[in-house]
Chains A and B, each alone.
Chain A
Amino acid sequence: ETGVTQSPTHLIKTRGQQVTLRCSSQSGHNTVSWYQQALGQGPQFIFQYYREEENGRGNFPPRFSGLQFPNYSSELNVNALELDDSALYLCASSSGGDRGRETQYFGPGTRLLVL
C-alpha cells in the first residue's frame, strides 16, 4: 500500500450535477496529481497541485478544477457532469514539485458513474 487514500470509493451522479473527490497524500509528499482513467485505457493527466497552486494541466476543460490544502491533501471538483466523465479518478502523490523527477504513487481511485 502507498499510503495515498481517496474518498469516496464509488459514486453515482446524474448528468449536470457537480462532484467533489478527495485525496490524502502519502506522508512526506507535497505534490498531488490527478488522473482520469476510462475503462480499458491508461490514466490521463488532469492537473497537478504543488504548494496549494495548480502546477500543470492536461487537456481537460475548466469545469475540472481542484484545490490543495496546507496539509497537502487535495480535492478534484467536476462541474456540469457529462456521461463521458464516467471513469476511475486517480490521485497520485509525490515529492519535489517543481523538480518533476520524483515517482508518483497512486491511491486506489474513486469510481464515478454518471447517469
Chain B
Amino acid sequence: GESVGLHLPTLSVQEGDNSIINCAYSNSASDYFIWYKQESGKGPQFIIDIRSNMDKRQGQRVTVLLNKTVKHLSLQIAATQPGDSAVYFCAEKVGSARQLTFGSGTQLTVLP
C-alpha cells in the first residue's frame, strides 16, 4: 500500500446531496476492487465491489464506476445522510494474490 501521511483528503457535502469519492489505483493488473467505509474506532465495513470485466455496479444508494484506461475508481453515494460520515477506502487485488492493497482514504463529512 501507499504511504500517504497523516492528512486524509476530505469531502464535505450537504445532507441530501450526492457524494462522489474518487480513487486512483496503481496496478494495471488489478482485477478486483472494493470500497470500504470506516467509522471512527471501528474496522472497515464492506460497501460494494466490482471486477475488472465491469465498468459500473450499483447497490443500495451506492454506485461504483471503474475506468481501467486511466486506472480510476469512484464511489457515488446518493442522497447522502449523516450516517454516511466516515473515512472511505478503495482497495485493489490482483488475481489470486492474498492481500488487498488499500488507497489513502477520503474523509467524508455530511453537513446538516
Task: Report which A residues bind B (CB closer than 8 A).
Answer: 2, 4, 33, 39-45, 47-48, 55-56, 58, 90, 92, 98-101, 103-109
Size class of B's contact patch? 20 to 34
B98 CB contact (under 8 Å) in A4, A48, A90, A107: A48
Q: How far is the CA of A4 from the CA of B102 in the complex (A)?
A: 20
Residues of A near B36 (CB, < 8 A) are 106
Residues of A near B91 (CB, < 8 A) are 42
- When C-beta atoms are compared, the residue in chain A nearest to B42 turns out to be A108
Chain A CB count within 10 A is highest, among B4, B43, B49, for B43
A54 CB to closest chain B CB (Å) equals 10
B41 CB to closest chain A CB (Å) equals 8
Residues of A near B43 (CB, < 8 A) are 2, 4, 90, 106-109
Residues of A near B3 (CB, < 8 A) are 41
Residues of B near A56 (CB, < 8 A) are 97-99
Given contacts A45-B1, A109-B42, contact A40 B95 (CB under 8 A): no
Residues of B near A100 (CB, < 8 A) are 93, 95-98
Residues of A near B49 (CB, < 8 A) are 103
